[in-house]
Amino acid sequence: MDGNGRWAQRRGLPRTEGHTAGEENLAAIVRASVARGVDYLTVFGFSTENWVRPRREVRHILGLHRKLFGRVSELNDLNVRVQWIGRPFDDPAARTPTYVQRAIQKAISDTAQNTGMTLTVAFDYGSRTEIAHAARRVVGQHKTPNVAVMSRAMYIPDMPHVDVLVRTSGETRISNFLLWQAAGSPSYFTNNPWPEFSEDDLDAAIALAHKFRSR
């Protein structure tokens, strides 16, 4: 969900206002995804690299994530189940604050019975970190690494393969996001920053996924 800060700066606003707008647009895209029958939506909320951002900006983003995970009533109304993917809280390198951990755990618990779309939020997440974590688990279990064994050692072993990877704000590169799960998947690029990511963008991304699958 790239481009929040640049969206704000172009309007003469603090970068934090862009993150607020991005969080609101995420809620709208979740509703639109549910309406279209999307089964899984995974969003890159905060990466392992984002901790180096200015402290004020990081604090603001953390507060927005607590708010996001606190939208339980709306998520239940939509029959959406929440998941989280990121460095395990007991990992020595993990940096997720306790109050965000509690919000994550509560959202997962309070939406566990929902049977509709699964919304997975990647927080304190980096794909290379996940792959390295999986490799350590496999080696620690004295198993021979292969694709099947490594897949079972990922943070969420039953996460389905990515149908389409979306990148916003004119960035035409793949970030450190679900590299294992998205291998071979098509990518949808849009010039719209995340606060302006529209239902038309969503429809175009879904269409690309269908087109790729029908080959």
Tell me which residues are annotated as active site. Answer: 2, 50
User: DSSP label at 21?
Assistant: H
Cα separation, 83 vs 66, in Å, equals 14
Burial 8-28 (b: 16+ CB within 10 A, else e): beeeeeebbbbbbbbbebbee
User: DSSP label at 159?
Assistant: P
Q: What is the CA radius of gyration of the chain?
A: 17
Cα separation, 62 vs 60, in Å, equals 5
Cα separation, 55 vs 64, in Å, equals 14
The one-letter amino acid code at 22 reads G
